Amino acid sequence: MRRRVFATSVHHGATVGGLPVVRTIEEAVEQLKRDPTQPVRTRVGDLTIEVRAIEEPTSGRTAAAVFAELGPWEGETTEEVLAILAQARHRGGQRPVPEL
């Protein structure tokens, strides 16, 4: 059995809970396209629904690609990092360090 969904009529410019209310899902999508930072409410049947846009990741790049773009590490040398870790261990660190 196919189910039909009807949106009820709500006046333009109306708000509920401080959020704009529109008549249809399509109008909610149009409102979000105009201002994706603000959620929109509408009625579908006997349900009041809130629709919001979510931010998608801006890049399909991998972490490896980002690190490659940043270039080589220009901070502490491996020896300096190992010395920092050894000092922390001598100051009372209790967690065992696994073999690399």
The string of pLDDT tens digits covering residues 3-57 is 333 333 344 557 667 777 888 889 999 989 999 998 998 888 888 889 999 887 7
The string of pLDDT tens digits covering residues 17-28 is 777 788 888 999
- Give Cα 92 to chain centroid, integer Å: 39
CB 17 within 8 A of CB 39: no
